[in-house]
Amino acid sequence: MEAAKATAAVRGWREAAQGSVLLDGFHALKHALRFGADVSAVLTTDRAAVAVLAADLAPDVAARIGESAVEIPATVLKELVPRLHPTGIAALAARPDRAADLAALTREPRRAPVVVLDNPRNLGNIGAVVRLAAGFAAAGVLTTGDADPWHPTAVRAGAGLHFATVVERVTVDQLPYGAPLYALDPEGDDIRDVPFPDDALLAFGSERHGLSEAVRSRATRLVAIPMRPQVSSFNLATSVGMGLFHWQTGRG
């Protein structure tokens, strides 16, 4: 009976994988469930170990994980995911409705900034920024360029917190109009002298080339984070964290 259930679960996974979001590891699944993800399949190499993790770290969703998890051999799960997480669990979830998410960012009043990543190149950085945005309760993370912010590597780095905020790839022309855009740039004004309003767009350039001219030209103001001379740059996620902390500490 258990073998038949596992076989059916693997078959269902293969059929649903294309077009679904891969939740790679226990923490990604935990956060996705907490923030309303539609999870369609959960596979694990050890149901008992997952039950212990859930009871210790996520009692609020432990029952849902326990009810949905199907145990399969580690060799099989390794074939289904790019890189098996140490927690030995993976899941599939439906990607949120893009149109609805983007529409939500244009509604007024917006009480938290939107982070704009201008042509980011590193998927791990994108995931780390999503995790920061979720933690600071930012309204969303919008990326331009070719990198998919929902790539499994980015979702893994974001620990499943893509479901806690709006995350989408857009063109520069699709960025919300009407909101002030503060672009982080070494030539800008000192960030300590520039408060960020709640409805701001906070734009950060790519790891190698910085801001594109298209984003710079839309900026309400260029803002710089003070940095020691001869240091080339801060990590992208570090810069976003400082920008969001600056916004949060400057509120009312």
> What are the residue ranges spanned by the domains of the chain?
2-94, 98-249
What is the distance, to the nearest Å, from the Cα of residue 40 to the centroid of all Cα atoms in its chain?
20
Tokens of 199: 């409805």
At residue 252, the pLDDT reads 59
Residue 91, phi then psi, degrees to nearest 5:
-145, 165
Report the candidate in 158, 153, 195, 200 with the shortest Cα–Cα distance to residue 181: 200
Give 89-123 as a 3 state SS string: EEEEEECCCHHHHHHHHHCCCCCCCEEEECCCCCH
Cα 23 to Cα 156: distance, rounded to the nearest angstrom: 7
Query: Hey, what amino acid is at 209?
Result: H
Give the CA diameter of the chain: 66
H/E element holding 142?
strand 140-143
Report the candidate in 164, 206, 165 with the shortest Cα–Cα distance to residue 184: 206
Tokens of 105: 């960012």
Question: For 2-94, which CATH class?
Answer: alpha beta
**pLDDT tens string for the chain (252 positions)?**
578 889 999 999 999 999 999 999 999 999 999 999 999 999 999 999 999 999 999 999 999 999 999 999 999 999 999 999 999 999 999 999 988 888 888 877 889 999 999 999 999 999 999 999 999 999 999 999 999 999 999 999 999 999 999 999 999 999 988 889 999 998 899 999 999 999 999 999 987 778 999 999 999 999 999 989 888 788 999 999 999 999 999 875
Residue 21, phi then psi, degrees to nearest 5:
-90, 125
C-beta of residue 111 within 8 angstroms of C-beta of residue 119:
no
Cα 90 to Cα 130: distance, rounded to the nearest angstrom: 20
Query: Among 3.30.450.40, 3.40.190.10, 3.30.2130.10, 3.40.1280.10, what is the CATH number of 98-249?
Result: 3.40.1280.10
- Helices (DSSP H) in 136-235: which residue ranges? 152-157, 213-216
**With the CA atoms of 57, 58, 63 and 66 taken in that order, what torsion angle do they form, in degrees rounded to the nearest 10?**
-50
Same fold? 2-94, 98-249:
no
Burial string for 41-62 (b: 16+ CB within 10 Å, else e) reads bbbbbebeebeebbeeebeebb
C-beta of residue 170 within 8 angstroms of C-beta of residue 145:
no
At residue 37, the pLDDT reads 96
